[in-house]
Chain A
Amino acid sequence: AQKVTQAQTEISVVEKEDVTLDCVYETRDTTYYLFWYKQPPSGELVFLIRRNSFDEQNEISGRYSWNFQKSTSSFNFTITASQVVDSAVYFCALSDTGRRALTFGSGTRLQVQP
């Protein structure tokens, strides 16, 4: 069975601090995808990134970066120089190519204080 664990329920930082959101996953599949989504207070789900299990290169997109480590089954997300607009719930998710359904973690609520 697949499982995604986001151990940090809530994180509070002050603007301009860097913050890392942890994601640990479990799967028996050799081919799978990992995702991060952002859910701002307005409630919609915003797609941030999808990563194939064969691609372990770290990715950077502006202030966002992702560290994928297969050896520790982790796919952590770092926001550099956080801003108030980053305040949201962030979800990590996992899917296998066969079943196609996403398994979501329980989310990490990030509060960025001005």
Chain B
Amino acid sequence: NAGVMQNPRHLVRRRGQEARLRCSPMKGHSHVYWYRQLPEEGLKFMVYLQKENIIDESGMPKERFSAEFPKEGPSILRIQQVVRGDSAAYFCASSPTVTGGLFFGEGSRLTVL
């Protein structure tokens, strides 16, 4: 049973470009969460999605960031017009139920030049 798969593991973008991070949850998991970890800091919640629905996006920046979890395919975290401050590790987690344990992927490390 494969774990949570994130790709790319490392992504380099120049300021102003777009970054797309993908997350395939564990088999049977329909709840997906995105977290951001700035250098030397803890993880901060960004968004919680179920299939085709955004349940809680209270941690998402109001501009440039969006997330989706379509009926088919992985969840996508999209960052438009990246800035240096977006450089961070972005972790995806999935869960089979609302109260189930959270299992994290290995993270995608975004570097903005």
Contacts and interface: CB of A to CB of B under 8 A. Distances in A.
Do A and B associate with each other? yes
Interface in A3-61: 33, 35, 37, 43-45, 47, 50
A102 B106 contact: no
A102 B43 contact: yes
Contact of B107 (A33, A44, A50, A93): A44
Interface string A80-108: 00000000000101000101111111110
A97 B99 contact: yes
A3 B56 CA distance: 18
11 contacts: A35-B102, A43-B107, A44-B104, A45-B104, A45-B107, A100-B55, A100-B98, A102-B43, A104-B43, A105-B42, A107-B41
B44 A104 contact: yes
A101 B33 contact: yes
Summarize A's interface: helix, strand, loop or mixed: loop
A47 B109 contact: no
A37 B37 CA distance: 14
Query: In which size bucket is the chain A interface?
Result: 20 to 34
Contacts, number: 53
B41 A103 contact: no
A103 B104 contact: no
A106 B102 contact: no
Contacts of A104: 35, 42-44
Nearest to B106: A44
Contacts of A45: 43, 91, 104, 107
